[in-house]
């Protein structure tokens, strides 16, 4: 076993995993406030990437400025989605809302390439491509920077959640009626959560778009994000950081160790297997809270 190769794979894997984690962050944010998972998160990330590209190409903004502009626009988009679509669904069973987000995902996945062109688009943040070497281990510079940014954003989110806004959201998630009675603006909290989720999705989309080009395939980030969210606990933000590194490392090592034995493609199902194993062993994830249902 080539130890240096394993080190490389693990390190790259952790960085890549953190970038997936950025999408998972949005799922966790929405779950914390609304109690549903958002299956459209991957598609929103894809949309964020497309919007960034649109700003960069049509408005001619430098890429980083386009990203900022996109983030602002997508915040509004997230709030709009919550206001128009989810407001009607208050009181409906969770599954209905889940499937609604599914429908939204299908729509966005086709609308973005349909309206903006289906060829792969280039998003260039000016990140140099030359690799960084630590001894014999090669670190992908692009992933280093991307992973760094993602980790930073997740930590910011964790800090945010111990602030007043975070406590507000936790209160709303716990009991909406009680929140109303103490004067918390519940609708506003939920809308803010959706807006924030859209922001993280856009950041993730822009980062991934710069790595692999902007196309519909960005919406496939969803499954990895789901795996991370479940493993870390659907309502735990620090859990996202830990779980994302774990999932990333597992994927990298699986490709290195198991692929030569089986003949390829294990990376695909690492996320799925993690989901199943987590559900069997510890359904609420590493850091999630056990839900006790009261009759």
Q: Which stretch binds another protein (CB under 8 A): 65-73, 112-120, 152-160, 187-195?
A: 112-120
Nearer to another protein, 158 or 220 (CB): 220
Kindly report the backbone phi and psi dihedral angles of residue 132, in degrees, each rounded to the nearest multiple of 5, phi listed first. -110, 135
Least distance to another protein from the beta carbon of 159, Å? 27
For another protein, the binding residue among 62, 76, 148, 265 (CB under 8 A) is 265
Q: Which stretch binds another protein (CB under 8 A): 49-57, 120-128, 158-166, 191-199?
A: 120-128
Q: Which contiguous run of DSSP H or E holds residue 288?
A: none
How far from chain centre, in Å, is Cα 210?
Answer: 16
The C-alpha atoms of residue 144 and residue 105 are separated, in whole angstroms, by 29
Are the CB atoms for 209 and 218 separated by under 8 Å?
yes
For another protein, the binding residue among 160, 184, 186, 269 (CB under 8 A) is 269
Is 263 a binder of another protein (CB under 8 A)?
yes
Least distance to another protein from the beta carbon of 125, Å? 12
Kindly report the backbone phi and psi dihedral angles of residue 121, in degrees, each rounded to the nearest multiple of 5, phi listed first. -110, 155
Q: Which contiguous run of DSSP H or E holds residue 182?
A: none
Nearer to another protein, 4 or 167 (CB): 4
Cα–Cα distances (Å) from 198 to 6, 8, 46, 48, 138, in that order, read 35, 32, 11, 8, 33
> What is the DSSP track for 64-79?
HHHHHHHHHHHHHHHH
Nearer to another protein, 46 or 168 (CB): 46
Is 273 a binder of another protein (CB under 8 A)?
yes
Are the CB atoms for 147 and 18 separated by under 8 Å?
yes
Q: What residues have CB less than 8 Å from 36, skipping those under 6 apart?
A: 30, 94, 97, 98, 101
Binding flags for another protein, 158-197, as an x/- string (CB under 8 A): ----------------------------------------
**Interface with another protein in residues 51-110 (CB under 8 A):** 85, 88-89, 92, 94-96, 98-100, 102-110
**Interface with another protein in residues 141-160 (CB under 8 A):** 141-143
Least distance to another protein from the beta carbon of 276, Å? 5
The owner of tokens 């299908």 is: 106
**Interface with another protein in residues 31-50 (CB under 8 A):** 36-37
**Interface with another protein in residues 204-243 (CB under 8 A):** 208, 211-213, 215-218, 220, 223, 226, 230, 234
Q: What residues have CB less than 8 Å from 75, skipping those under 6 apart?
A: 195, 196, 198, 199
Nearer to another protein, 168 or 249 (CB): 249
For another protein, the binding residue among 58, 64, 76, 118 (CB under 8 A) is 118
Least distance to another protein from the beta carbon of 1, Å? 12
Is 258 a binder of another protein (CB under 8 A)?
no
Are the CB atoms for 211 and 144 separated by under 8 Å?
no
For another protein, the binding residue among 18, 140, 179, 202 (CB under 8 A) is 140
Q: Which contiguous run of DSSP H or E holds residue 14?
A: helix 3-34
Q: Two tokens at 191?
A: 């809308």
């Amino acid at each position: 076993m080539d130890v240096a190769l394993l080190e490389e794979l693990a390190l790259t894997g952790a960085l890549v995993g953190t970038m997936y984690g950025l999408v998972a962050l949005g799922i966790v944010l929405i779950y914390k406030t609304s109690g549903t998972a958002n299956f459209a998160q991957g598609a929103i990330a894809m949309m964020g990437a497309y919007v960034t590209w649109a700003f960069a190409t049509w408005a001619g903004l430098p890429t980083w400025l386009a990203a900022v502009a996109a983030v602002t626009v997508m915040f509004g988009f997230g709030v709009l989605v919550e206001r128009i679509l989810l407001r009607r669904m208050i009181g409906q069973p969770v599954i209905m809302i889940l499937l609604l987000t599914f429908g939204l995902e299908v729509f966005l996945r086709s609308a973005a390439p349909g309206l903006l062109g289906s060829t792969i688009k280039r998003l260039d943040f000016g990140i140099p491509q030359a690799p960084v070497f630590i001894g014999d281990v090669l670190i992908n510079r692009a992933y280093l920077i991307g992973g760094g940014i993602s980790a930073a954003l997740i930590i910011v989110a964790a800090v945010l959640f111990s602030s007043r806004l975070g406590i507000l959201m936790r209160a709303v998630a716990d009991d909406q009626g009680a929140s109303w009675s103490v004067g918390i603006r519940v609708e506003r909290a939920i809308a803010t959560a959706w807006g924030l989720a859209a922001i993280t999705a856009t950041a993730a989309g822009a980062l991934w778009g710069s790595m692999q080009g902007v196309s519909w395939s960005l919406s496939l980030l969803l499954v990895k994000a789901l795996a991370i969210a479940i493993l870390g606990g659907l309502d735990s933000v620090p859990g996202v950081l830990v779980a994302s590194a774990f999932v990333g490392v597992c994927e990298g090592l699986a490709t290195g160790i198991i692929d030569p034995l089986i003949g390829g493609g294990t990376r695909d199902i690492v996320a799925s297997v993690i989901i199943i194993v987590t559900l069997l062993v510890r359904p609420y994830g590493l850091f999630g809270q056990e839900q006790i249902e009261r009759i």
